[in-house]
Structure 1
Amino acid sequence: MSADDGNRLRLFLRESVQPPIAEQQDRLRSRLERAIDPGRLSVVHHPARLPRDGDGETLEWYERVREWASTTEASLSPFFESRSAYDPDVDDVREMVSLPVLWLVVSDGASVRAAYPHVQEAVVPVSSAIAEFESADASSRANDAAD
């Protein structure tokens, strides 16, 4: 996967996290911003849980990621979970989606090309995707210098 292949990236960050987790989010976001062209990255903040029957950008991308996972035989568990839970906003139990503190979607338009974290034989974290983009960026700079 190359940072120059026209893909867009969406970095989803959970709101209201503990300081060490916020620092990790900031570090990974900074690495990603350095590795890709400006304007190719969107950052979306979200709560820890959302109602499954809700709407909005975060849930739309969650559903696209679920579709991608089912077609690529990747597992989103234990990072993304959906279960019945109490929702204080409606004072009732309903299906809620628990989202990770940090997730990345690589897309071409509305189509998901890859999503992190996921499990495919082993855990593939967001940091692995960022390392791929950094490697592609370093190769691109080396090729530019050789020209």
Structure 2
Amino acid sequence: MPVDDGSRFRLFLREDAQSPIADQQARLRARLERAVDPGRLSVTYHPARLPRESRAAPLEWYGRVREWAESSGFSLSPFFESRATYDPEADDVREMVSLPVLWLVLTEGESVRAAYPHVEDAVVPVSSAIDDLESAEAPSRVNDAAD
């Protein structure tokens, strides 16, 4: 994943995740924090589901990611799902969007350049994006260690 100086990373984590999932979130977040300059990374926590009409930031980002995926010919399913279901907060059935436990958005300026997870020919998880970032950083780490 080539990264330009103007790139920013937005990591989204589902709040109240079960212990093994929270551990995975923490491990991937730590790897990302080591691979990216602190000023270029933001972290947002969100619930498992949000009403489609919500103006919450994670749902607005989901809309932007969905546009990116459609224009790139990628799929976000089964990671992001939208369906009519009972919402106990509203005590009614309404369109709800289920968000993944962990997702990453790479932006340049106002444009979404990539989002993970998604499906190209196969699933491309968040960990693959972080692997690519770590590989890109490896030469500079080796040089720093030799100093």
Extract unaligned runs of 5+ from structure 1. none
Matched, 1:8 2:8: yes
Moved more, 59-68 or 104-113: 104-113
2:80 maps to 80
- Equivalent-residue separation in structure 1 for 2:27 and 2:132 (angstroms): 16
- Equivalent-residue separation in structure 1 for 2:138 and 2:5 (angstroms): 15
- Equivalent-residue separation in structure 2 for 1:83 and 1:56 (angstroms): 18
Normalising by structure 2, report the TM-score.
0.94
- Equivalent-residue separation in structure 2 for 1:91 and 1:60 (angstroms): 24
Native 8 Å contact 1:3 1:35 kept in 2: no
Extract unaligned runs of 5+ from structure 2. none
Query: Deviation at 1:142?
Result: 4.1
Structure 1 residues 32 and 3, CA, compared in 2 at 3 Å: closer, same or farther?
farther
Percent pairwise identity: 72
Normalising by structure 1, report the TM-score.
0.94
- Equivalent-residue separation in structure 2 for 1:3 and 1:73 (angstroms): 21
1:110 maps to 110
Native 8 Å contact 1:3 1:137 kept in 2: no
